[in-house]
């Protein structure tokens, strides 16, 4: 909603000015850290830290219902949910929970329209097994490391089944860390 006005003199502090074209005039965003213990989220109840994908979806759905209950003026707005990385699991799970709530007639009725995920984890084993071939294809690891790791790990890179496979996967990680 704001822009910075360039300072008139060198070393002066910039001033905030209202941006008349701000996205916040037509959209609203709720940023939510979940599950409990992630980012700025916390609980005074230690048992709340025992969580999982289904509980995270349920807790987030409960939050949304309570939030829209407190601010019903936003109920008519289309609701999209989104996230990145492990949200590839959380977001579709939450979308399903929201859809179930709508079908069951739970109030307030959310105006759910869809979801989006960026760089999502979809399946840990599938994604984990893609790391070594991806690193090789991007030129991050040598042909030798790729071939040795593929042979010793039998093409399964998500979990090391032998000590030698584990050693080679650690070697791959060490080389990749040079580029991060």
* Cα 111 from chain centre: 22
Can you tell me whether residue 5 is helix, strand or coil?
strand
Over residues 70-74, the mean pLDDT reads 98
Q: Which residues contact 158 (CB under 8 A, 6 or more apart)?
A: 124, 125, 128, 129
Give the tokens for residue 148: 């040795």
**In angstroms, rounded to a whole number, what is the distance separating the alpha carbons of residues 11 and 177?**
38
Cis peptide before 109 (omega within 30 of 0): no
pLDDT of residue 105: 98
pLDDT average, residue stretch 60-81? 98
What proportion of the chain, given as a percentage, has pLDDT over 70? 100
DSSP 11-47: TPPPEEEE-TT-GGGT--------STTSTT---S-GG
How many other C-beta atoms can be found within 10 angstroms of the C-beta atom of residue 154? Answer: 10
Say which residue the tokens 């005074």 belong to. Answer: 44
Q: Collapsing DSSP states into helix, strand and coil, what is residue 67?
A: helix
Mean pLDDT of the chain: 93
pLDDT of residue 124: 82
Confidence of residue 25 (pLDDT cuts 50, 70, 90): confident
Residues making up the chain, counted from first to last: 180
Res 51: pLDDT: 92
pLDDT digits over 87-109, tens only?
999 999 999 999 999 999 999 99
Q: Kindly state the average pLDDT of the residues 37-57.
A: 93
Higher pLDDT, 87 or 123: 87
Q: What mean pLDDT is predicted for residues 34-49?
A: 93
**How confident is the model at residue 2, as a pLDDT?**
86
């Amino acid at each position: 909603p704001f822009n910075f006005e360039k300072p008139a003199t060198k070393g002066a502090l910039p001033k905030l000015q209202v941006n008349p074209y701000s996205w916040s005039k037509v959209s609203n965003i709720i940023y939510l850290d979940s599950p409990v213990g992630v980012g700025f989220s916390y609980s005074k109840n230690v048992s709340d830290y025992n969580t999982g994908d289904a509980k995270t979806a349920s807790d987030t759905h409960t939050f949304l219902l309570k939030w829209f209950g407190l601010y019903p003026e936003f109920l008519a707005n289309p609701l999209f949910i989104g996230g990145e990385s492990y949200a590839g699991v959380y977001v579709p799970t939450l979308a399903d929970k929201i859809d179930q709530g709508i079908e069951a007639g739970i109030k307030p009725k959310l105006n759910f329209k869809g979801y989006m995920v960026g760089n999502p984890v979809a399946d840990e084993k599938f994604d984990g097994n893609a790391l070594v071939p991806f690193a090789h294809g991007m030129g991050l690891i040598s042909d030798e490391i790729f071939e040795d790791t593929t042979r010793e790990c039998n093409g399964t890179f998500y979990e090391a089944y032998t000590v030698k496979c584990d050693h080679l996967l650690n070697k791959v990680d060490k080389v990749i860390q040079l580029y991060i």
